[in-house]
Structure formats: structure tokens, C-alpha cells
Chains A and B, each alone.
Chain A
Amino acid sequence: MFSFMLRRVLASIPTLLVVYTVTFAIAHLTPGSPWDSASANRPMEPAAKAALDAKYNLDEPLQVQYIGYLWGAVQGDLGPSFRDPSQSVADIVKKFLPTSLALGSMAIALAIVMGLLLGVVAALTRSRALDTAILFFCTFCVSLPTYIITAVLIVTMGVGLGLVPTFGWKGLFSTSAIVPVVSLALAPMAAIARYCRNCVLEVMHKDFVRSARAKGVKRSRIIAVHILRNALVPVVTVAGSYASSVLVGSFFVESIAGVPGFGRYFVLAVSARDYPVIIATTLVYAVIVVLCNLLVDIAHFMIDPRTREDVR
């Protein structure tokens, strides 16, 4: 198990390098310098520009900047933010990421619980209408963009019914978290429910389920132990593939609902050409993706003994 994890971690290093290289290239291909947007009406003195370039090493050749930033990043120094020189990028990550992470974990937890529930109900119900209704609801949730869900939830629940605040953030355990959590959770929930339903339908007719039933095992135990455990493997895979994008925060949800999170900061950084923030946020995202994949593998390892053969 340990050597397997070590191998996976080592294998993710090239991935992170590719992500860094591509982001670095994109950030520096984007025309204009970070000092343009600060004073669009009043162009900055060339001398001041050159001084700023020199201060942030932007006057050096690209390959020197490439290595230099990478060397700093490995040591945990993500550089200063151009847009807001008073704080370093590491501070910004520390300030904005926890909100998004908390929001995202809540949403993913909700998605897994609701998705499993809907999937199992859809598969096991004898009512064709209920099955069709759940499937349709899931297609509906997968189709809708998150910003529509957020906006519609705010208009109905906030403006219409007055149940939740229409804008702002008062922490994870307040009514202000309801709309962002629900809007983030719906799409992964729908995907999980669909996978879960199909897996349960597949497993239901396997021999071991029939034997368990013949032995007289209780129906609830058959569902929980024999069917659900087998259905969990693909569910974990799907949840993992959604988890990374939900955890890092959605720009749309965060800006519409007024959550001071990581996703919103990224988009602001792109429009300000804040290179260190752009590269750092993308790297943080890639690290989260790698970690999620690792967690999925570990979960598979724990749920399904058959996968243990391959990993040794």
C-alpha cells in the first residue's frame, strides 16, 4: 500500500510540471503587461515600468524566470502578487482557499449522500414512474449551468421567499451557505445517482445476491452489504472526478452568491494579468486534482478487495 502510494505521488510530478509549463506559457503569451490595467487612462512612465519589471524579475529572459519561479515554488514561495503587492500569493491562497474547500467538501458530501439515495431508490423501486422521474431530474441537473442554478435559487428562495440572504457570506454554518452548497452539489449528485442506479441494476442480478437472498439474509442487509458495496466503486470514481472542480470553487457560484473564495479570485487575477497568482492557482488546482485521484485509489483499495491484487 505504501509503495503504491509513493509510486502514485512520484508519477504525478511530470503532470504538475506539464501544468506549470503550459500555464507559464499561457500567462506570458497573453499580451500586455501586468502594469497596463492599473492605470488605463494614465499610461505609466516607461522608467517606472522598467523599475517594476526589474523588481519582479520580469526583465530577465523567460527561461530564467521559468526556472526561478519553479525553484521558489518548490520551496513554498509562490511569489508576490502583482495586483496587491502587500500580500504574497501564499497568503492569498491561505486566505481564499479554505472558504472554497469548506464549501466544496460540504457540497461533495451532500452530493454523495443524495446521489446514492436517489440512485438506489431509482434502481430498486417497482414504480416505473418514480424511476423515470428521478432519471429526468438527474439529466436536468447535469444540463443546467451552475450560474443558472445559483441565480434561480437566489431569486426564488432569497428574493421570493426571503429564506436565505441574497448576497454575502457569513460562514459555512449559516443560511448564506445554503444556495452555494446546493448549486455546487446538484451536478455531481445527478452524475452519482445515474452511475449508482445503473450499477445497482447490474449487481442486483449477480449470483451472490441470489445466494444471499436464498440463504434468507434480510433485504436491508442485502442492499447495504452486497449491492451497495459493489455499486460504490464507480460512484467513488465519479465523485472523485467532480470533487476537484467543486473543491477549488466555482467562479460563477462565488461571484453571484458573494462568497469570498478561490474561484472568484482566479478570474480577477486573470483579468489583471497577475502572473504569480494565475500560475499558483492553477498549480494548487492541479495538486488538488492529483490528491483527489489518490484518494479515489485509496477508497477503491478499501472498498474493493479485488483491486488490491494489482497495486502490490
Chain B
Amino acid sequence: MTMVPSTQRRGVPLLSASLRIKPGLAVAIAFLVLIVVVAASASFLPYDAYRQDLLHRNSPPSWNHILGTDELGRDMLARLAIGARVSLVVAVTSTVAAVLIGIAVGAIAGYKRGWIDSVCMRFVDSMYAFPDTLFAILIAGVVKGQLNQSSTDFFSPITALYKMSGGLFGVFLTLSFTSWLVCARIVRAEVIILRSAEYVAAARLAGASDLFVMRRHILPNCLPVIIVSATFVVPSAILLEAGLSFLGVGVDPPTPSWGAMIASGVRSMQSYPHLLITPAIAVGLTLLSINVIGDALREHFDPSFRRGGEAS
């Protein structure tokens, strides 16, 4: 559907005022902080996420391994922690990149209008006709293949980065390419409203250049909608990363990833359900927390987004 730009939003209340911390929100923030701490301290855990112990494969939770071991006897907690790091790093970096692309396209389209706007938005609309997960799978195939293959001088730093990151960089590129659409639409709608504001007209009459008006007057005022659009991108990036790794086109093994852990959990879910349950709970609760926080942010910045909380 189309975003209905609201005009009553001017004057966003203070963050602390409307984020009266409700119990659900507090739990969500606490859980997310916990995940970040675990992800950051993953290297200091007593167990190595890569060390195999074939005598203790698929063992259920015990004192030695709090969450049990996987099909190669690797500690599940250590793997979950590294997986959290992978998920969060990919989600945050690709959200930043996607939001930047979205701002660029949305701002140019909304500010210039005319044929540039038509071309950009026609393109964005057409991209919505792509299946999002399937499109990500296609892109991931290209990115992975190109990065693995190319040995030209131009690509060699990128290829090196890709190999060093264990496939993370490929997932980052894929997610950035696929998730900027929402952001471009939201930013464009906002820029169209802002460019007709009186202070923008005044600045242009005073001889300010387009770039100056954009930087000083329009983009700072877009910040609330940019944050709102980021609240849609972050959870979908985590979801897509897990989905790609689930299918084996995401992060390369043996680097642990939540999606890949769930995939191997699904393969043995009938005999060793704990291999499925723990990563599933981790992914589920993380996404739930992010969505709860996102709802609160959306409600704060723009009550009109409250209508259900789904973009596109």
C-alpha cells in the first residue's frame, strides 16, 4: 500500500516522555542487551565454537555443555554466541547500507520530481513484484559466484574481504541490495512534503544550492522517518540472513550462523529436538524483541505507522 504521509507529526515529543517504559518493552530491551553482550563476549566463553568432539555428539544439555552439543560435538552455546555476532553484525551493517541507498534514491526522486522521480519509483514498484526471499536467493547466488570466481585486480580486495569474512561480506551485499526499497519509498514521501515547506522556499530564495538545502533543511527533518524505516529493515535483515544461511547460500560453514543451525536442527528434529529448539528460541526471541522495540519507536515518531506495523 502507499504510505500516507502525516502532516500532524511536526513537533515530535521528547523520546523519554513518550517511551514510558512499559514492562514488555523493558523485557525486550533487556533481552537485546543480553544478546549483544553474549555476542560481544563470544570469544571469552570456555568452549570453542569450532572444536569438534565426536565422542559427545548430539548430547543433550548438561553441566559440561549448558545447551548440549551439535551433530559434530561442538558446544551449542558457543556456536549460538558466535551466530549472534554474525546475525547482528550483518543486520546492522546491511541496514545502514540499505538505508543510505534508500535515502539517496528517495531524496533525489522526491526533491527533483519529474522524470527522475517517475523512473526511480517505477523501478522500485517493479522490484516489489519480486518475491523478496527468492530475489535474495538469486542475488546471493550471483554475489557468491562472482566473488568466488573473479581474480581480476579490480575485484581482488573485495574477494579477499569476502574470503576473510567467511561469506559474511556476500550476505551483507545481498541484504543491502534487497532491502533499500521500503526506505526509498518512505524517504521520498517525506521529502515531497518537506520541499514545499516555507523555510525551504526561503533558503532557496536566499540563493542556497540544492545540496545545501538538502543537507541543512530536508535530511535532518527526515530523521524520524529514516529511523522508522530502519525499524522495518533490521528484523527483515536478520530474518533474511537466517533464511539464506538456512538454504546454504549465506555464511559459509564452519562459521556458525543461526539460520544454518536451525537448518541442521530441522534435519535431526525427530531424534534430537534440542538442536532445533535452542537456535529457534534465540532467533524467535531476538526478532520479537526487535519488533517490540520497533513498535515503540514507530509509535513515538509517527502514530500513523501504528496501524499494524507492516510496511510495503
Interface residues of A (CB under 8 A from B): 14-16, 18-19, 22-23, 26-27, 29-32, 136, 139-140, 142-145, 147-148, 151-152, 154-155, 159, 166, 191, 194-195, 198-199, 234, 237-238, 241, 244-245, 248, 250-252, 256, 263, 266-267, 270-271, 278, 281-282, 285-286, 289-290
Contacts and interface: CB of A to CB of B under 8 A. Distances in A.
B239 interface: yes
A154 B283 contact: no
Interface in B1-52: 1, 24
A195 B309 CA distance: 8
B142 A30 contact: yes
B102 interface: no
Nearest to B280: A148
B131 A245 contact: yes
B191 interface: no
A84 B266 CA distance: 28
A245 B129 CA distance: 10
Contacts of B235: 143
A186 B239 CA distance: 16
Q: How large is the interface on B (under 10, 10 to 19, 20 to 34, 35 or more residues)?
A: 35 or more
Contacts of B276: 151-152, 155
26 contacts: A15-B126, A18-B129, A19-B126, A19-B130, A22-B126, A26-B141, A30-B145, A139-B295, A143-B287, A144-B288, A145-B242, A147-B243, A147-B262, A148-B284, A152-B276, A152-B277, A159-B269, A159-B273, A198-B306, A251-B133, A252-B246, A263-B134, A266-B134, A267-B134, A285-B129, A289-B128
B308 A238 contact: yes
A278 B138 contact: yes
A32 B148 CA distance: 11
B265 interface: yes
Given A151-B265, A155-B276, A285-B131, A194 B284 contact: no
Instruction: Give the residue among B130, B148, B235, B276 with the most A Cβ atoms within 10 A.
Output: B130
A248 B307 contact: no
Contact of A195 (B137, B146, B308): B308
Interface string B268-312: 011001001100100110011011100100000000001111101
A26 B142 contact: yes
Nearest to B295: A139
A32 B145 contact: yes
B123 interface: yes
Given A143-B291, A145-B239, 11 more contacts: A15-B129, A31-B142, A139-B291, A144-B284, A147-B266, A191-B308, A194-B307, A198-B306, A238-B1, A250-B133, A289-B128
B61 to A, nearest CB: 16
Given A139-B288, A234-B307, A289 B129 contact: yes
B139 interface: yes
A195 B1 CA distance: 12
A281 B130 CA distance: 10
A176 to B, nearest CB: 16
